[in-house]
């Protein structure tokens, strides 16, 4: 088995000799560095990568890392995973992504490509659920910025 250059553990797979967990940690480290230098940027994180970002006890004015972690976990649970056809190995994988960063203070965009969603999905109820979760996480702004045939994008921002 290959050995990760960063954690020195034997792992199933590596990319550029670094395991998935260490890659995600390096991405979070890069994010935290960028946070110091830019007040306007975004980095895309998958639901699989988010726990590494969310495990930090981050606070910024109204942004409380523990509350945001809970919000993201609930959004992950509420958002249908991929379904193609019976027996497809990609069934059950998440497809939504989070673009997180700063617009002055913390911002999170939830992006969904509708091609991966069930045809009869109720976006009105989903929107109400998202707004309730954002309220519980004390977001100062929560809204749907795109909802067309192809995409659904929600924005959450903390002052």
Q: What angle (nearest 5°) sits at the alpha carbon of residue 47, between those of residues 43 and 49? A: 60
68 closest CA partner among 128, 137, 157, 141: 137
HSE-up of residue 117 (Cα within 13 Å, Cβ side): 17
Q: Among 17-25, 32-40, 67-75, 115-123, which window interacts with Zn ion (CB under 5 A)?
A: 17-25
Q: How far apart are CA 38 and CA 135, in angstroms?
A: 27
Among 1, 2, 3, 7, binds Zn ion (CB under 5 A): 7
Please report how close the Cβ of residue 56 comes to Zn ion at its closest, in angstroms. 18
Give the interface segment with Zn ion, choosing from 6-14, 44-52, 120-128, 141-149 (CB under 5 A): 6-14
Range list of β-strands (E), the chain:
14-15, 18-19, 40-45, 59-60, 63-64, 97-103, 105-113, 141-147, 151-157
1 contacts 11 by C-beta, under 8 angstroms? yes
Contact positions with Zn ion (CB under 5 A) in 84-103: none
Could you tell me the smallest distance in angstroms from the CB atom of residue 5 to Zn ion?
Answer: 8
Of the two residues 3 and 128, which places its CB atom closer to Zn ion in the complex?
3
N residues, the chain: 159
Q: Which of residues 21-50 bind Zn ion (CB under 5 A)?
A: 22
Among 1, 2, 3, 6, binds Zn ion (CB under 5 A): 6
- Name the minimum Å distance from CB 28 to Zn ion: 13
CB of 69 vs Zn ion, minimal distance in Å: 23
For residue 58, the minimal CB distance to Zn ion (Å) is 23
User: Could you tell me if 143 and 127 are in contact, meaning their C-beta atoms sit under 8 angstroms apart?
Assistant: no
CA R_g for the chain: 17
Q: Which stretch binds Zn ion (CB under 5 A): 11-19, 32-40, 80-88, 135-143?
A: 11-19
- Positions that interact with Zn ion (CB under 5 A): 4, 6-7, 19, 22
């Amino acid at each position: 088995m290959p050995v990760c250059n960063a954690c020195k553990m034997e792992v199933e797979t590596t990319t550029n000799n670094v395991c998935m967990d260490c890659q995600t940690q390096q991405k979070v480290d890069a994010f935290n560095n960028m946070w110091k230098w830019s007040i306007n940027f975004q980095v895309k994180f998958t639901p699989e990568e988010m726990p590494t970002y969310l495990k930090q006890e981050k606070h910024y004015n109204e942004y409380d890392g523990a509350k945001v972690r809970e919000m993201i976990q609930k959004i992950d649970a509420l958002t249908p995973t991929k379904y193609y056809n019976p027996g497809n190995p990609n069934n059950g994988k998440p497809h939504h992504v989070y673009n997180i960063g700063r617009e002055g203070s913390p911002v999170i965009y939830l992006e969904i490509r509708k091609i991966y969603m069930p045809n009869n999905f109720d976006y009105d109820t989903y929107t109400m659920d998202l707004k309730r979760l954002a309220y519980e996480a004390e977001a100062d702004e929560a809204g749907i910025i795109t909802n067309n045939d192809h995409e659904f994008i929600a924005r959450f921002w903390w002052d």
